Amino acid sequence: MLQTHSQAIDSKENSVKASPWRLSVAPMMDWTDRHCRYLHRLLSRHALLYTEMVTTGALIHGDVERHLRFNAEEHPVALQLGGSEPADLAQAARLGAQWGYGEINLNCGCPSERVQRGAFGACLMNEPQLVADGVKAMVDVVDVPVTVKHRIGIDQSEDYGFVRDFIGTVADAGCNVFIVHARNAWLKGLSPKENREIPPLRYDVVQRLKADFPHLTIALNGGLATDESVADALGRVDGAMVGREAYHNPWWLARWDALYFGAADNALTREGVEAAMVDYMAREAALHGTHWYSIARHMLGLRHGLPGARRWRQVWSDHRLKGLPAHEVMALAQAPQRGAPSDTPAALDASAELAATR
């Protein structure tokens, strides 16, 4: 039965303070980088944020700073790892903890062929003992929680015992938190996008897992795109993880602290958040040489559903304006809301010509 927002909050009042996994934004490749997470943290002080998946090989053999650098404002923030070799996972987890991440999460849910070729992701559900060995190796070297994100099954089998035994084996190795995407992962025949849409959602399986493992923290992921669906998830299990809707409609996060964490209503405005992001763009440019264009892409949904949102997005994504400072681009983007004339194509063309001369 669907709970109201207030019932979801009241019935979990104690866990609001105790569980970091009450509400989180999912790790999403190419999306939840540190710039995206900075935006999300401006909107919600309490939601748990996850990095994109970082492979153990990228950390062991690549540029550690590039993969692990994050903003202190992002806390609470978790690092998601992709890998399968216990020794490599331990080394990568240790690096994550040293860099200040508050959780290490192991990806056992991604079904892409590229990830399968690396022998990790969803295919690891077929090797629960290997996952357990990896979890134990990480638990032994870090003091932060080690968690697992996974599916409810592989391919078209709906055998509940498969996912139940997977969790039981991995929990015995020291994992107490499982984030469960309530769909099967089809390892052949579906693209990653299709794997998020075609296998049916089975929330009852996740709820059954919570009943069978009451001592574990179980969070539900998959298909959560409204306040009602989040409240329903929190009535079933310990936490909810939201994916693409949080990215495409980030302003939704501005309600989360009041709805799900008992915080006072905030005084945020879209214009204020946009201005804070422009300040952040200036800081990133000064410290790291980051161009504002690579940051602005994450906030293109900020005015989702509002009049003028399409034109606002066009301004912030207009490559011809790359030569302008971010605060000037913001002025162009906000001009229609102020009744200014610079929203016309001719005005934008003139601004683009000015940018090209700088």
Tokens 């134990």, located at residue: 136
Residue type for 52, please? E
What is the rounded CA–CA span in Å between residue 257 and residue 5? 12
What is the rounded CA–CA span in Å between residue 312 and residue 310? 5
Q: How many helices (H) and strands (E) does the chain have?
A: 19, 8
Q: Which positions are catalytic?
A: 110
Degrees to nearest 5, angle at CA 190 with 243 and 167: 60
Torsion of CA 283, 289, 292, 294, to 10 degrees: -130
The DSSP symbol for 254 reads G
In this structure, the chain runs to a length of: 358
Name the β-bridge partners of 80: 53, 105
Token pair, residue 8, equals 């979801």
H or E segment to which residue 345 belongs: helix 345-356
Token pair, residue 191, equals 């693209």
The residues, ordered by sequence, that sit 6+ positions from 85 with a Cβ below 8 Å of its Cβ are: 56, 134
Quick count: other Cβ atoms within 10 Å of Cβ 141? 15
C-beta pairs of 317-320 under 8 Å, 24+ apart in sequence: 318/348, 318/352, 319/293, 320/352, 320/355, 320/356
Tokens 């090989």, located at residue: 57
